[in-house]
Amino acid sequence: MPGIYIHIPFCRQACHYCNFHFSTSLRYKEEMLQAILQELSLRSGYLEEKELDSIYFGGGTPSLLTESELMRFFDAIGRYFRLRPGAEITLEANPDDLTPEKVQALRHTPVNRLSIGIQSFHDEDLRFFNRAHTAGQARASLEHALSAGFTGLTIDLIYGAPTTGQKQWEENIDIFFGYGIPHLSSYALTVEDRTALAHFIKTGKVPPVEDEKAARQYEYLMASMHAGGYVQYEISNFARPGCFAVHNSSYWKGEPYLGLGPSAHSYNGASRQWNISNNAGYIRLLQGSSGAQALIPGLFETEHLSTATRYNEYVMTGLRTIWGVELFHLRQMAPAYENYFLENIRPFLDAGQAKQEGDTISLTDAGRLLADGIASAVFMVGETGPEFRM
Query: What are 100-157's pLDDT values in tens digits?
Result: 999 999 999 999 999 999 999 999 999 999 999 999 999 999 999 999 999 999 999 9
- 258/35 Cα distance (integer angstroms): 15
Q: What is the pLDDT of residues 325-354, one digit of tens each?
A: 999 999 998 889 999 999 999 999 999 999
Whole-angstrom CA distances from 126 to 33, 68, 118, 161, 236 are 30, 31, 9, 10, 20
Percent of the chain with pLDDT over 70: 96
Residue range 271-288: mean pLDDT, rounded? 93
For residue 60, whether the previous peptide bond is cis, meaning omega lies within 30 degrees of 0, is yes
φ, ψ of residue 361 in degrees (nearest 5): -120, 130
- Predicted local distance difference test score (pLDDT) of residue 388: 41
Q: Could you tell me what percent of the chain has a pLDDT over 90?
A: 88
Question: 186 pLDDT exceeds 80?
Answer: yes
Residue 28 Cα distances to 33, 64, 220, angstroms: 9, 13, 44
pLDDT at 384: 46
| Stated pTM of the model | 0.93
pLDDT (tens digit per residue) in 56-85: 999 999 999 999 999 999 999 999 999 999
Name residue 155's amino acid: I
Alpha-carbon span 106 to 303, nearest angstrom: 37
HSE-CB of 172 using CA atoms within 13 angstroms: 32
Q: What is the 3-state secondary structure (H, E, C) of the chain?
A: CCEEEEEECECCCCCCCCCCCCECCCCCHHHHHHHHHHHHHHHHHHCCCCEEEEEEEEECCHHHCCHHHHHHHHHHHHHHCEEEEEEEEEEEECHHHCCHHHHHHHHCCCCCEEEEEEECCCHHHHHHHCCCCCHHHHHHHHHHHHHCCCCEEEEEEEECCCCCCHHHHHHHHHHHHHHCCCEEEEEECCCCCCCHHHHHHHCCCCCCCCHHHHHHHHHHHHHHHHHCCCEEEECCEEECCCCCCHHHHHHHCCCCEEEECCCCEEECCCEEEEECCCHHHHHHHHHCCCCCCCCCCCCEEEEECCHHHHHHHHHHHHHHECCCEEHHHHHHHCHHHHHHHHHHHHHHHHCCCEEEECCEEEECHHHHCCHHHHHHHHCCCCCCCCCCCC
153-179 mean pLDDT: 98
- The pLDDT of residue 285: 93
Task: Supply the pLDDT for residue 266.
Answer: 97
* Residue 385 clears pLDDT 80, i.e. is over it: no
Distance of CA 79 to the CA centre of its chain: 27
Domains in the chain (CATH in brackets) are 3-251 (3.80.30.20), 307-378 (1.10.10.920)
CA distance 273 to 258: 9
Sign (positive or negative) of CA dihedral 275, 277, 282, 283 = positive
Evaluate whether 130 touches 196 at the Cβ level (below 8 Å): yes
Residue 153: C-alpha distances to residues 62, 244, 293, 370 (Å): 15, 11, 38, 29
Instruction: State the pLDDT confidence band at 293, using cuts at 50, 70 and 90.
Output: low
Give tens-digit pLDDT for 208-221. 999 999 999 999 99
pLDDT averaged over the chain?
93
